[in-house]
């Protein structure tokens, strides 16, 4: 019998009969692993346990403890969701059912029934029945594509037929759910996989919502019913996820925007184009002020570039080759212009505008550059996914030997910034793709080593994503964690070997020879829109004093105190403290309640006593009454808190100790 040898994660080898599967590998290692294994990773790609192994494969067996396992579980749960719907509504037709962050969905065409949450209990009950029946997932290659196409069409499965026709030259496969006892086929779907061994692994799931979705995202196509759901290995994780979803719903920046008058998207302007109202514009102004000050301190030069450029520029940069469908064009003087989707080519031209010496490197160019990209209407989401946004962009041009020190400084910049907002983060390092990439392997290796050393020097633990870098260079991504544990992609640092080559960038080295610089793309906030949306949800609208639209609410007890309150407001505004008098004809209790609901950091109560003494009674949004203090002293305390980006740090003398 012919044998094959495969390699395990610890470097050891296993010899198995030719044609053996990952399940048989698990069985050869031990019965405990065979029971615990639910999928495999073969040469870096997640596969099911029945996938045949080949000579030289590198194999890792997955259990429910591995992070990749959840995606397999959810993909499998999507199949039993579709099977359940077709059992309950036999005329239903299925489209696609991918996994998404924290769950999955399935697009369904049900001619005579509109799904609602009222249907969820019976769908879930049918899903549990399918799960308990232990139907086996079996992968099959489609041998007779014309025959299978006809079969789909005869059954009215037009969506499956379209998908099969599109991928007919890519060895398409079906995943069949088989009866555990008889082995008979129960249900099947056109699918690449992978899946869990059988449906009994699918125990903890919850249907979340239903929405409309055009087939293939095209409004010219039929509207389908998209059922969103989630699945975990344990019911307690489902409960925790549902709790987080409730919190997320309360913090949804679109809802909070209406409550606190932050931004709007108007039909007359267009989808994905944000109108920043005064409150959120104030927050943005503070972010920009911080950004400019920190960039100057850290040795960056700030530049400004146009919003449009001739198509020729984007041809050279390569954007028209791989990004044209996302760009807006116009014609001026019989020439095609493109509204910029990115700032990088402009910064490249600034570098190239004259001969550069090695002594000038690193050259750090930064810009708050507004860019425009076409996004499909169904993908846009408040501030988080828009068509016009401002990147806090920077491009660093350096020598190969300077990469490590530059990356270390970028990591410090990111760390210092996120600490201001009490945000934790995770770090991912993505390396050279296995196939399509530009640049020499030796330079890739040096660059990746420099990134690793920079992360190690910074003391930051990181996840290594082998082969997940862009074709033009390795990258580091920072995944922010907000107050309820969600992650957001904002900060990033990306090496680029492509644009310096395309634009023939050079500098004169110390030996007098022309050398190619390394280009580093870098963003701290990512975009001001997404970062603002993240902050709204992170703080649930209760912003730190330094970025709060209103920092002080001045609350006169009676009309006779209004003049003094107005005088205090003018004093504060002259000192650049955002204060506002509540002159409404309401009692002081109502005014305090209104300021608290508006989440103003500090309230100053003004009555007869305060007018006579020159003091103010101070109330904190988070700590309640703080006592009385001379007005001038409170002003100095809050100015210090703002200047140091403090988090409600005003402490009155009588409260100390």
How much is the pLDDT for 650? 63
State the CB neighbour count (10 A cutoff) for residue 419.
12
Which positions are annotated as active-site residues?
A: 344, 373, 391, 393, 395, 475, 521
**Contact indicator for 22, 51 with CB cutoff of 8 Å:** yes
**15 shares a domain with 106:** no
**532 shares a domain with 464:** yes
CA atoms lying within 13 Å on the CB side of residue 10: 3
**596 shares a domain with 471:** no
Distance CA 362, CA 404 (A): 12
Is 312 inside any structural domain? no
CA atoms lying within 13 Å on the CB side of residue 446: 12
**Contact indicator for 335, 341 with CB cutoff of 8 Å:** no
**58 shares a domain with 110:** no
Mean pLDDT of the chain: 92
Closest CA to 529 of 389, 380, 392: 389
Is 248 inside any structural domain? no
Is 92 inside any structural domain? yes
Tokens of 185: 């086929």
Give the DSSP H or E segment for 50. Answer: none
**621 shares a domain with 511:** no
Is 322 inside any structural domain? no
Distance CA 544, CA 641 (A): 10
**73 shares a domain with 58:** no
Tokens of 629: 């203090």
Classify the phi-psi angles of 613: left when phi > 0, otherwise alpha if psi is within -120 to 50, otherwise beta. alpha
Distance CA 143, CA 134 (A): 27
Burial of 385 per CB tally in 10 Å (0-12, 13-18, 19+): middle
Distance CA 51, CA 141 (A): 12
In this structure, what CATH number is given to the domain that contains residue 552? 3.40.50.800
Handedness of CA 197, 203, 206, 210 (dihedral sign): positive
Is 635 inside any structural domain? yes
**Contact indicator for 533, 274 with CB cutoff of 8 Å:** no
Closest CA to 421 of 537, 333, 499, 330: 537
How much is the pLDDT for 480? 84
**Contact indicator for 329, 338 with CB cutoff of 8 Å:** yes
Range 529-560 burial, b when 16+ CB lie within 10 A, else e = bbbbbbbbbbbbbebbbbbbbbbbbbbbbeee
Closest CA to 476 of 497, 498, 460: 460
Tokens of 10: 């610890």
> In the chain, how many domains are there?
4
**85 shares a domain with 57:** no
Is 443 inside any structural domain? yes
- In the chain, which stretches have pLDDT less than 50? 654-657
Q: What is the three-class DSSP state of 389?
A: strand
How much is the pLDDT for 487? 80
Cα–Cα–Cα angle for 216, 531, 347, rounded to 5 degrees: 90
pTM above 0.75, yes or no: yes
How much is the pLDDT for 448? 86
Closest CA to 314 of 302, 325, 304, 298: 325
**Which of 537, 571, 590 is the C-terminal boundary of a domain?**
537
How much is the pLDDT for 653? 54
Q: Residue 581: give the domain boundaries.
A: 545-655
**418 shares a domain with 346:** yes
How much is the pLDDT for 649? 60
Is 36 inside any structural domain? yes
**Which of 521, 537, 553 is the C-terminal boundary of a domain?**
537
**130 shares a domain with 148:** yes
Is 325 inside any structural domain? no
Q: What is the pLDDT of residues 445-482, one digit of tens each?
A: 888 888 888 888 888 888 888 887 777 788 888 888 87
In this structure, what CATH number is given to the domain that contains residue 403? 3.30.930.10
**364 shares a domain with 457:** yes
In this structure, what CATH number is given to the domain that contains residue 27? 3.10.20.30
Closest CA to 539 of 420, 385, 368, 413: 420
**512 shares a domain with 650:** no
**562 shares a domain with 528:** no
Distance CA 74, CA 204 (A): 10
3-state helix, strand, coil in the chain (%, to 5): 40, 30, 35
**Which of 494, 518, 537 is the C-terminal boundary of a domain?**
537
- Tell me the C-alpha to C-alpha distance, in Å, between residue 365 and each of 6, 454, 522: 49, 21, 10
Q: Output phi, psi for 580, to 5 deg.
A: -150, 135
In this structure, what CATH number is given to the domain that contains residue 212? 3.30.980.10
């Amino acid at each position: 019998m012919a044998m094959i040898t495969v390699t395990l994660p610890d470097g050891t080898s296993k010899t198995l009969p030719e044609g053996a599967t990952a399940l048989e590998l698990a069985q050869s290692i031990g019965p405990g692993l065979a029971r615990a294994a639910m999928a495999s990773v073969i040469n870096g790609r997640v596969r099911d346990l029945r996938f045949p192994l080949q000579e030289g494969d590198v194999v890792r067996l997955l259990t429910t403890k591995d992070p990749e396992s959840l995606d397999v579980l959810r993909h499998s749960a999507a199949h039993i969701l579709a099977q359940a719907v077709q059992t309950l509504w036999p005329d239903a037709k299925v489209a696609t059912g991918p996994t998404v962050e924290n769950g999955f969905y399935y697009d369904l065409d049900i001619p005579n029934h509109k799904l609602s949450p009222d249907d969820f209990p019976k769908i879930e009950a049918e899903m549990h029945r399918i799960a308990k029946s232990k139907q086996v997932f079996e992968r099959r290659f489609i041998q007779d594509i014309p025959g299978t196409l006809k079969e789909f069409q005869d059954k009215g499965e037009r969506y499956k037929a379209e998908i099969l026709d599109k991928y007919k030259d890519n060895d398409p496969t079906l995943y069949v759910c088989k009866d555990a006892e008889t082995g008979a086929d129960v249900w099947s779907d056109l699918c690449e996989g992978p899946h869990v061994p059988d449906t009994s692994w699918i125990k903890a799931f919850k249907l979340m919502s239903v929405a409309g979705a055009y087939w293939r995202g095209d409004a010219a196509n039929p509207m389908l019913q998209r059922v969103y759901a989630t699945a975990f290995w344990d019911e307690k994780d489902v409960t925790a996820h549902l709790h987080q979803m409730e919190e997320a719903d309360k913090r949804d920046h679109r809802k909070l925007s209406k409550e606190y008058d932050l931004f709007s998207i108007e039909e007359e302007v267009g989808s994905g184009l944000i109108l920043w109202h005064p409150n959120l514009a104030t927050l943005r102004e503070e972010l920009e002020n911080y950004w400019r000050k920190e960039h100057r301190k850290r040795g960056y030069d700030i530049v400004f570039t146009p919003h449009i450029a001739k198509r020729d520029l984007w041809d050279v940069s390569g954007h028209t080759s791989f990004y044209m469908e996302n760009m807006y064009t116009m014609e001026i003087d019989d020439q095609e212009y493109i509204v910029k989707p990115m700032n990088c080519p402009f910064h490249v031209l600034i570098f190239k505008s004259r001969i550069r010496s090695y002594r000038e490197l690193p050259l750090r160019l930064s810009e708050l550059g507004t860019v425009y990209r076409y996004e499909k209407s169904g993908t846009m989401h408040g501030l988080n996914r828009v068509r016009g946004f401002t990147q806090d962009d920077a491009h660093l041009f350096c020598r190969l030997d300077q990469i490590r020190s530059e990356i270390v400084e970028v990591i410090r910049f990111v760390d210092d910034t996120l600490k201001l907002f009490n945000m934790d983060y995770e770090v991912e390092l993505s390396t050279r793709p296995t196939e399509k990439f530009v640049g020499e392997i030796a330079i890739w290796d040096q660059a990746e080593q420099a990134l690793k050393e920079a992360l190690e020097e910074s003391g930051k633990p990181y996840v290594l994503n082998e082969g997940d870098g862009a074709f033009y260079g390795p990258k580091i991504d920072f995944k922010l964690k907000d107050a309820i544990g969600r992650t957001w992609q904002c900060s990033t640092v990306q090496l680029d070997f492509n644009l310096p080559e395309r634009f023939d960038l050079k500098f004169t080295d110390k030996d007098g020879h022309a050398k190619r610089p390394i280009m580093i793309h870098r963003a701290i906030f990512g975009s001001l829109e997404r970062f603002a949306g993240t902050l709204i949800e992170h703080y649930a609208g209760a912003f730190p004093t330094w970025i709060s639209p209103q920092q002080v609410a001045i609350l006169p007890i009676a009309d006779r105190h209004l003049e003094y309150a107005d005088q205090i407001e003018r004093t504060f505004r002259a000192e650049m403290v955002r204060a506002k008098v509540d002159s409404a004809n309401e009692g002081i209790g109502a005014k305090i309640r209104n300021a608290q609901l508006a989440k103003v950091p500090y309230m100053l109560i003004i009555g007869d006593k305060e007018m006579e003494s020159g003091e103010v009674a101070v109330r904190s949004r988070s700590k309640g009454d703080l006592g009385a203090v001379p007005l001038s002293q409170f002003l100095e305390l809050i100015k210090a808190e703002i200047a140091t980006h403090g988090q409600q740090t005003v402490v009155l003398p009588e409260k100390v100790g």
